[in-house]
């Protein structure tokens, strides 16, 4: 079970500052490039806005979306397109997910979580496994979220766990309750499966 450090009442500024220091440290410790994976949805983009103008040398960072809707990059629902529009101009290399992708070890895996306990696009109905032999899967959530009714492509639990650090940003009391119960081993939702298999420390901003 992961060792979870919980930081309560963290705003976008505090989260961005922590991520900046984390990535600066990872870059200092690396002779070359590093890779990170980041979430989509509404929560991370105000944080990205702060990070893109930080001291981070984005030209040394490969950014992988943790998941995406299977739509063109210029579609409003594309996580990859939004990430590219923000971070590519400051030098980051954006790596879209594809079924045959071979993700690297990530310096940082930044994740969100849904109220149903899903992480990336690993929804409860997809029965994600901590020993999944594939690093990337295409799948269909059931039920389809009404705000984004699209098939998905996603990193799997092993690909997310192949990282030096796991970071969550959890907003809302309902999500916090699901996360806390997962950390305590009280259910078997995707978030719980990830945390139970994690060997690295987990930072959670709530």
CB atoms near residue 32 (< 10 Å)? 6
> Tens place of pLDDT for every residue, the chain, 206 residues?
678 999 999 999 999 999 999 999 999 999 999 999 999 888 899 999 999 989 999 999 999 999 999 999 999 999 999 999 999 999 999 999 999 999 999 999 999 999 999 999 999 999 999 999 999 999 998 888 888 899 999 999 999 999 999 999 999 999 999 999 999 999 999 999 999 999 998 999 99
How many residues in the chain?
206
Within 8 A by CB and 6+ apart from 197, the residues are 130, 157, 161
User: According to the CATH classification, is domain 4-205 in 1.20.200.10?
Assistant: no
Domain boundaries, the chain: 4-205
C-alpha 36/C-alpha 75 separation (Å) is 23
Please give the model's pTM, rounded to 2 decimal places: 0.95
């Amino acid at each position: 079970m992961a060792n979870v450090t919980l930081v309560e009442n963290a705003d976008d500024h505090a989260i961005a500052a922590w991520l900046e220091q984390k990535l600066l440290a990872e870059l200092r410790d690396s002779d070359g490039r590093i890779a990170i994976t980041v979430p989509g949805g509404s929560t991370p983009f105000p944080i990205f806005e702060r990070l893109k103008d930080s001291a981070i040398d984005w030209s040394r960072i490969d950014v992988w979306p943790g998941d995406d809707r299977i739509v063109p990059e210029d579609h409003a629902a594309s996580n990859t397109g939004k990430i590219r529009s923000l971070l590519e101009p400051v030098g980051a290399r954006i790596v879209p997910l594809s079924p045959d992708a071979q993700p690297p070890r990530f310096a940082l895996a930044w994740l969100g979580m849904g109220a149903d306990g899903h992480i990336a696009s690993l929804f409860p109905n997809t029965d994600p496994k901590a020993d999944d032999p594939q690093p990337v899967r295409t799948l269909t959530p059931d039920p389809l979220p009404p705000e984004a009714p699209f098939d998905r492509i996603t990193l799997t639990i092993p690909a997310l766990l192949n990282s030096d650090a796991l970071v969550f940003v959890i907003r809302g009391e309902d999500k916090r309750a699901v996360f806390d119960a997962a950390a305590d081993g009280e259910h078997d939702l995707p978030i719980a499966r990830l945390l139970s298999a994690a060997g690295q420390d987990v930072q959670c901003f709530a």
